[in-house]
Amino acid sequence: DEDTDCICVPDKERLTMETLLLERKGPVAWVWLNQRRRLNAIDETMLAELGQVFEELDQDEAVRAIVLAARGLVFSAGFDVAWMASQDAETVIQGLPTVEAAFDTIEGCAKPVIAAVNGAAMGGGLLLTLVADLCLAAEGAKFGAPEVKIGIFPNLRLIPRLERIAGLRAAKRIVLLGDPVDAAEAWSLGLVDRVVPAAELCTEAQTLAGQLAGLPSMPVQVAKAAFATSRDPGYVEWEREQFAACWAQPERKAAMEAFLQARRKR
């Protein structure tokens, strides 16, 4: 059944694109990779649609958390090898900024992004999980960067992103051998926040996204931005400004009052 792995939402809350399916469930948006018959391989069209959707969700005040998931048995087999093989070196180099921009748009989205991974996340599929903020994996999920096996190596800053999360030795093993790691090892390396039964993946992702969506939105978004900004020379001044901005928000006052009321009832 084409819809067995989709959350149930009214048709008016669903938008079908050429390679993606966008669904909304309250303040949570689900972005589904929707090329199951092609193992959700990444091509030019998918990159363009991912960039467009995440830009729009970034600006949508009704959206407070995003889940990136995939329909079918594979999260993403990575970049379409047939598409890559048809390109010459000059064309590839010229196109890299556009490809990079799609992943940077996801990583730079102000809203927290959760990757919900079923099956294999290879190459560009692995990169999609690395640019998300949190990652849940089904028990049968696998993560890998097999590029060396087809005569190239992982670019698009996959290597530094992987090293930052998994550590130098693990990143080298994954990249140099090109062999995948299973969900349990991915969890031990920090690539995955939690491993769940496949049948519970969507429910767990919606619960986690709902938890994020229920928090005061500005501090969540600023906290996410702080991780990307922390090494900048002007971080301390930026941090002070953002802290003051959060303090001035009505939701800060309401959250503190709710906390104090709950403590009085104990």
- What are 59-84's pLDDT values in tens digits? 999 999 999 999 999 999 999 998 88
For the chain, what percent of residues have pLDDT higher than 90? 91
Instruction: Give yes or no for residue 15 having a pLDDT over 70.
Output: yes
Q: What was the pLDDT predicted at 7?
A: 63
Q: What was the pLDDT predicted at 8?
A: 59
pTM of the predicted structure, to 2 decimals: 0.94
Average pLDDT over residues 23-27: 96
Sheet containing 134-138: give its strands across.
14-16, 20-25, 28-33, 65-70, 113-117, 134-138, 194-196
Q: What was the pLDDT predicted at 4?
A: 45
- pLDDT tier at 6, thresholds 50, 70, 90: low
**pLDDT tens for each residue of 152-171:** 999 999 999 999 999 999 99
Contact indicator for 103, 66 with CB cutoff of 8 Å:
no
Buried b (16+ CB within 10 A) or exposed e, 218-244: bbbbbebeeeeeeeeeeeeebeeebee
**pLDDT tens for each residue of 115-143:** 999 999 999 999 999 999 999 999 999 99
Q: What was the pLDDT predicted at 102?
A: 97
For the chain, what percent of residues have pLDDT higher than 70? 95
Instruction: Give yes or no for residue 92 having a pLDDT over 50.
Output: yes
Contact indicator for 76, 125 with CB cutoff of 8 Å:
yes
Contact indicator for 89, 42 with CB cutoff of 8 Å:
no
Q: Which two tokens stand for residue 158?
A: 């996959």
Mean pLDDT of the chain: 94
Sheet containing 181-182: give its strands across.
120-122, 142-144, 181-182
Q: What was the pLDDT predicted at 234?
A: 96
- pLDDT tier at 3, thresholds 50, 70, 90: very low
Coil, helix or strand at residue 83:
helix
Q: What was the pLDDT predicted at 230?
A: 93
Q: What was the pLDDT predicted at 13?
A: 83
Nearest Cα to 135, choosing from 97, 191, 181, 180?
191
Instruction: Give yes or no for residue 11 having a pLDDT over 80.
Output: no
Query: Which segment of 3-17, 33-47, 98-112 scores lowest on mean pLDDT?
Result: 3-17
- pLDDT tier at 2, thresholds 50, 70, 90: very low
CA distance 171 to 159: 7
Cα dist from 219 to 111, 115, 200, whole Å:
11, 21, 29
Instruction: Give yes or no for residue 205 having a pLDDT over 60.
Output: yes
Q: Which two tokens stand for residue 74?
A: 């594979």
Instruction: Give yes or no for residue 10 having a pLDDT over 70.
Output: no
CA distance 20 to 35: 7
